[in-house]
């Protein structure tokens, strides 16, 4: 099972975007049979960036996953697009770091589950093998 790691990249420090994804990879490896798929692992390290190439790569990665784990602490525009795409493809979405009652109506509608921590999100996302 593959779990796509969705969350802000451009709106936050790149190291912060990497940090939680790296932690998630370790948690998936230690506690589940699932594999974390980080879009950062597939993006060029240096520019110039080709927007179309990055977006198409991210969409293809997401389509090959059985669940999406979202960092809800500060989602970005891309995160919203990824949540919608997952929902349209019947891929469950687990949001961590954001209470459901504080989420936007759109996120509440398209997400499968909200959990408080990354560790809980990893366990829940790995258990959603469909």
For residue 101, pLDDT over 50 is answered with yes
Range list of H helices, the chain: 14-31, 51-63, 77-88, 105-110, 118-126
- Which is nearest to 69 in space by CA: 11, 121, 130? 121
pLDDT tier at 92, thresholds 50, 70, 90 = very high
2-126 carries CATH number 3.40.50.720: no
Q: Give, in order, the Cα–Cα distances in Å from 125 to each of 46, 59, 62, 128.
A: 31, 19, 14, 5
Q: What does the pLDDT look like over 26-51, one tens digit per residue?
A: 999 999 999 999 999 998 777 667 88
Flag whether the pTM goes above 0.85.
yes
pLDDT of residue 129: 52
Q: Which residue has the tokens 């891929």?
A: 91
Residue 87: CA atoms inside 13 Å, Cβ hemisphere, count?
Answer: 17
Q: Answer whether residue 130 shows pLDDT above 50.
A: no
């Amino acid at each position: 099972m593959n779990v796509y790691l969705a969350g802000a990249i451009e709106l936050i420090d790149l190291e912060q975007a990497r940090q939680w994804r790296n932690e998630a990879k370790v948690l998936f490896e230690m506690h589940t049979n699932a594999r974390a798929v980080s879009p950062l692992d597939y993006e060029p390290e240096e520019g110039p960036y080709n927007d179309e190439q990055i977006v198409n790569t991210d969409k293809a990665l997401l389509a090959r996953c059985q669940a999406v784990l979202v960092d809800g602490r500060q989602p970005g525009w891309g995160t919203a697009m990824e949540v919608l795409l997952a929902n349209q493809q019947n891929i469950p979405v687990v949001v961590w770091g954001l209470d459901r009652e504080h989420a936007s109506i759109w996120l509440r509608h398209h997400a499968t589950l909200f959990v408080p921590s990354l560790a809980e999100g990893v366990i829940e996302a790995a258990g959603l093998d469909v």
